[in-house]
Amino acid sequence: MDIRHPLDDRMPALLKSGQRLRGIFNGLPSPAIVEMCAYAGFDFVVIDNEHGSADLETTENMLRAARASGIPAVVRCLRHDIARVLDMGAGALQIPMVNTADDARDLVRRVRYPGVGERGSAFSTRAAGYGAFGGRTHAQRSNEGIALIVMVETPEAVANAGAIAAVDGVDAVFVGPNDLSHAMGYADDWRRAEVQAEITRALKAVIAAGKCAGTLGLTLDDEEKHAAIGARYFATVSTGLITKAFREAAVAGRSAEAVALKY
């Protein structure tokens, strides 16, 4: 009998494949939503533990749902959760606010086991099949099969994007438009020309370093614009899509005044 390993190790190869990837951020604490993302046909799902409300137990269950439904799962988490999220079996991490190459090197050390990094070893966890897949083979599979995606979200990070991308062990760099816009003093106006110019600058630097570059792809036009310069890793947002669909159902056949938002 073949037993599926709990650790999905497909993301590094996908990020190196040259193909365009379309995923979705999900901050809702729901394994069912993760399954829906898989059945909808997304290439990956980002379980958003930076801005989402899932606790660690729910995160582990969302990882189970992703593995069972066949969609590669990335967990966006803060640094203090890295070790525990990895032990839950995350096959990819996306870490926000990486400003320098030294920041990126520190993350590589946290994600990789000794020999490459400094990750603590525990083979009783879900990532190692509760001991069924422990030991040296598990450590090698993890070091080779867990993807590290770092986020560039400040002017300092944009200036360092090429050096960040060049760090060995960084698989992809994602430019976060909203935080970048705020850091530049333009609030949430990330479609502003000055912000878009910095996004393009960062993406080009990452691509020149030979790594996969990505950013938000809320619309096909957004995606096509950045794909034209070589970006390949795009993500939309589940709550935005759900709210839009609900809104369209709520307002259908009614006047806008009848369902106007009030602040």
List the domain boundaries for the chain. 11-146+220-250
pLDDT band at 229 (very low <50, low <70, confident <90, very high): very high
Query: What letter does residue 113 receive in the DSSP assignment?
Result: P
pLDDT of residue 2: 78
Q: Which residues of 17-30 are buried (b: 16+ CB within 10 A; e: fewer)?
A: eeeebbbbbbbbbb
Q: Which tokens sit at 56?
A: 């660690």
pLDDT of residue 262: 75
Strand partners, 217: none
pLDDT of residue 78: 98
pLDDT of residue 92: 98
Beta strand segments in the chain, E: 21-26, 44-48, 73-76, 92-95, 147-152, 172-175, 212-216, 233-237
pLDDT tens column, 65-120: 999 999 999 999 999 999 999 999 999 999 999 999 999 999 999 999 998 999 99
Percent of the chain with pLDDT over 70: 99
Rounded CA-CA distance 217/226 in Å is 9
pLDDT tens column, 180-206: 999 999 999 999 999 999 999 999 999
Least confident span in 16-20, 145-149, 228-232, 246-250: 246-250
Active site residues: 51
pLDDT of residue 263: 76
What mean pLDDT is predicted for residues 169-178? 98
Rounded CA-CA distance 158/160 in Å is 5
pLDDT of residue 157: 98
pLDDT of residue 261: 75
pLDDT band at 163 (very low <50, low <70, confident <90, very high): very high
Contacts of 110 (CB under 8 A, 6+ apart): 79, 82, 83, 117, 118, 119
- Determine the CATH number of domain 11-146+220-250: 3.20.20.60
pLDDT tens column, 49-66: 999 999 999 999 999 999
pLDDT tens column, 120-144: 999 999 999 999 998 999 999 999 9
Handedness of CA 31, 2, 19, 39 (dihedral sign): negative
Strand partners, 173: 150, 213
Residue 171: name the closest of 144, 201, 198 by CA: 144
pLDDT tens column, 153-162: 999 999 999 9
Rounded CA-CA distance 92/90 in Å is 6
pLDDT of residue 29: 98
- Do the beta carbons of residue 153 and residue 199 sit within 8 Å? no
Question: Helices 56-69 and 31-40: crossing angle, nearest 10°?
Answer: 30
pLDDT band at 256 (very low <50, low <70, confident <90, very high): low
pLDDT of residue 108: 98
Long-range contacts of 224-231 (CB under 8 A, 24+ apart): 226/199, 226/200, 227/20, 229/200, 229/203, 229/204, 230/203, 230/204, 231/203, 231/207
| pLDDT surpasses 70 at 8 | yes
Contacts of 136 (CB under 8 A, 6+ apart): none
pLDDT of residue 155: 98
